[in-house]
Amino acid sequence: MQIEEMEFAIIAAGEGSRLRKEGFNLPKPLLPLHGVPLIERLIRVFAAEGAQQVHVIINRQSPELKLFLETGAFEVPIVLIEEDTASSLHSFALLVENNPNWSSCCLTTTDTVFRPHEFHAYLEAFQQQQDADAFMAVTPFIDDESPLYVHTDQKLRIEAFLDKASEDTKYVSGGIYCFRQPAMDCALRSVAAGNSRMRNFQRALLESNLRVNAFVFEKVVDIDHLKDRIVAEQFLSEEVS
């Protein structure tokens, strides 16, 4: 499916300090799954979905990652921003500031591992749900150290983002987002208001009375530790077995 008028972006500006403590001495986006670095895998998935280019934001302490992105033979051009930011939200806001012509975008963090066919269905659903200002991947699979719980109604409209689960909360955030212009504008306002976490921005979307819908992925694996790579590789192997 060719995605019209949508940009694709990856936040790869984190330090990856937990992986370094465990002996992986390269930036987290270069951690390989089945021999393919995390960030290359994302770029390949985006290219397969019709991305004309991929925007990537990295920090200034990642020369190996910068070199990889500048010299790699990718299917699509890489638009690179090198900047130290205070949080993922600040990284997203910088992407929006640098691209005021975006009408919609798909954003992921670099350590989010998902099945391509579910991602394809997610993008198709976003295109169909034109009334959604924001479209969040959610999953019942919880492996994050500090998950953001997502409460929805029966039609998967998001009603609350919670730090702790309630009895009827089924999902957590998957770290994959699609946004239209009103949501991107809200990100800029959220940073200006002093917010410094993606979850607080997501709450601001609801406070601004924007329509925020969810799409359920069977499983999304978050890479924080080396042991998570084993889980992710097993998960991806299940897809092709």
Count of domains observed in the chain: 1
Q: Is residue 93 part of a domain?
A: yes
| pLDDT tens-digit readout, 110-143 | 999 999 999 999 999 999 999 999 999 999 998 7
CA 82/CA 59 separation, integer angstroms:
5
- Band of residue 240 on the pLDDT scale cut at 50, 70, 90: low
Q: Is residue 32 part of a domain?
A: yes
Q: Is residue 41 part of a domain?
A: yes
Q: Is residue 1 part of a domain?
A: no
200: Cα separation from own chain's centroid: 15
Domain that holds residue 26: 7-240
Q: Please report which residue ranges of 16-115 form alpha helices under DSSP H.
A: 17-21, 38-48, 63-71, 88-98
Q: What is the pTM of this model?
A: 0.94
Can you give the length of the chain in residues?
241
| pLDDT tens-digit readout, 137-181 | 999 998 777 899 999 999 999 999 999 988 889 999 999 999 999
Residue 234 sits at φ, ψ, to 5 deg, of -65, -40
Looking up residue 135, the CATH number of its domain turns out to be: 3.90.550.10
Torsion angle defined by CA atoms of residues 225, 229, 235 and 239, in that order, rounded to the nearest 10 degrees: 150
Q: Is residue 2 part of a domain?
A: no
Nearby residues of 31 by Cβ (< 8 Å), 6 or more positions away: 19, 24, 37, 38, 223, 229
| pLDDT tens-digit readout, 44-92 | 999 999 999 999 999 999 999 999 999 999 999 999 999 999 999 999 9
